[in-house]
A and B are shown apart, each in its own frame.
Chain A
Amino acid sequence: MVCSIPKVLLLGNLGQLNSFQPSQSVVVRMVASPFSTTQQVSKYEEGPERDLVNFPRPKRLVDPPAVSLGFIPQSVNKFFYPKLGVTGSWTFGGGLVTYLLSKEIWVMEHEFYGGICLLIVLGAVVKKFGKQIGADTRASVQEFADDLNSGKVNEIKSSEIGIEEEKKAQWRAEGEVMLFNAKRENVAFQLEAAYRQRLADVYAEVKKRLDYQVEKQNVERSVQQKHMVNWIVSRVTKSITAEQEAENIKKCIADLKGLAARA
């Protein structure tokens, strides 16, 4: 498009530049509004070949599996349950210990009694302070986890506040539309008032001119009348001669005599 137009034309006629339309190479990024209803919360998805059935995502346990005597996992009890019942592991363990002690395969030398003393002391410590220590460590673990999570939590919170603000801004913008409408109406009223004012002005001006014409004609007519009357009177008085005057007076005297005779 640009190449087909001579440079002189381009430089000489700037008006042609304004008529340029953006070509197809212009990239338009469509940004979806965060409030559009079509948007969906996308779940985290892995590739299509991901096997979630046989290889589920590893999840951290909250509580360790239950143990008996402080260290024997439940799987041992489960192993003995089908043959020896609920107390199976105790039966087996007790029998084994009895056997080992009676045959002195488990030799009770001096370290054995030392071990028992240690066990008693440790057991007492666990019984007395175990709960307290557990609660304290759990609290500190919670604090640590909260500390790690705080960034994410704060981000979510600030985003929610941002969403609220954005909604409020949109609400305000809607109010602005009302305001603009009111202003437009106001301007329309002003225009209407000005129009009517001008109409009234035109009417008054035209009336004034017409009144002037009427008045002028009236004045002309009265002046003409007056002039005519004056002219006629002056011509009449001019046309009256001395004999006519004397005759008139004689006639008047005769009329008066006649009137007097009749009276």
Chain B
Amino acid sequence: MAWGEYPVEYNPKVHGPYDPARYYGKPDTKLSQVKLGELGSWLARRNKNPIAMVQAVSRAWWRWNHKFIFPRNAGLSGPIQVAVGSMLFFYVINYRRYKNHRFAKYH
């Protein structure tokens, strides 16, 4: 698969128009349905190829867009989620500086 091409599993005759939010490979059990004991084998089955990782992130990004940005009456919830997410992210990466502003002395 070269740069800018469809995933190899995608077959337009079977799958119809391409949806970038959709996984066209063989679906595994959902993470939310996986039992704790099977988590190890579930993780072992994941494709750890960096390309596959990027594809997974891309699908998630498109899925989120379809949900919160692309709907016709989409409101502020999508941008607020981005803001909250970036707030958390920057809070975490700056946490060692914020730690110095603690008032507590005994815990």
Bound pair: A and B?
yes
Q: Which residues of A contact B (CB under 8 A)?
A: 46-47, 49-52, 55, 57-58, 60-65, 67, 70-71, 73, 103-104, 107-110, 115, 126, 134, 138, 141, 145
- Can you list 14 A-B contacts with CB-CB less than 8 angstroms, sorted by A residue number? A51-B14, A51-B15, A57-B17, A58-B66, A60-B70, A60-B71, A60-B72, A61-B70, A61-B71, A64-B77, A71-B81, A104-B104, A107-B99, A134-B75
Q: Shortest Cβ distance from A238 into chain B, in angstroms? A: 138
With contacts A50-B13, A51-B15, A55-B22 known, is A71 near B77, CB below 8 A? yes
Q: Is B102 an interface residue (CB 8 A)?
A: yes
Residues of B near any A CB (own CB < 8 A): 13-17, 19, 21-22, 66-68, 70-78, 80-81, 83-84, 87, 98-99, 101-104, 107
Q: Whole-angstrom distance between the alpha carbons of A108 and B66 in the complex?
A: 36
**A67 with B16: CB separation less than 8 A:** no
Give Cα A82–Cα B81 distance, bound, in whole angstroms: 25
Contact A63 B73 (CB under 8 A): yes
The interface residues of chain A lying within 8 Å CB-to-CB of B107 are 103-104
Chain B residue with minimal CB distance to A63?
Answer: B73
**CB of A213, distance to nearest CB on chain B (Å):** 102
Could you tell me the distance between the alpha carbons of A115 and B90 in the complex, rounded to whole angstroms? 14
Which single residue of chain A is at the shortest CB-CB distance from B11?
A49
**B16:A55 contact, CB within 8 angstroms:** yes
Chain A residues, CB < 8 A from B74: 64
A62–B74 Cα distance when bound, in Å, is: 8
Contacting pair B101 A64 (CB below 8 A)? no
Q: A73 vs B85: C-alpha distance in the bound complex, in angstroms? A: 13
Q: Collect the chain B residues with CB atoms within 8 Å of residue A115's CB.
A: 87
Complex: how many Å from CA A46 to CA B22?
19
User: B80, A49: Cβ atoms under 8 Å?
Assistant: no
Given contact pairs A47-B13, A104-B104, A104-B107, A109 touches B98 in the complex (Cβ within 8 A): yes
A257 to chain B, nearest CB (A): 157
B10 CB to closest chain A CB, in angstroms?
10
- A75 CA / B79 CA spacing, docked (Å): 18
**How distant is the Cα of A63 from the Cα of B74 in the complex, in angstroms?**
6
Given known contacts A47-B13, A50-B13, A107-B101, A64 and B81 CB-to-CB distance under 8 angstroms:
no
B101 touches A138 (CB 8 A): no
A108 to B104, CA, bound (A): 11
Q: Which listed residue, A50, A71, A110, touches B80 by the CB 8 Å rule?
A: A71
Complex Cα–Cα for A67 and B79 (A): 13
Please state if A138 and B73 are interface contacts (CB–CB under 8 Å). yes
A50-B14 in contact given A58-B19, A134-B75 (Cβ < 8 Å):
yes
Chain A residue numbers with a CB within 8 Å of B84 are: 71
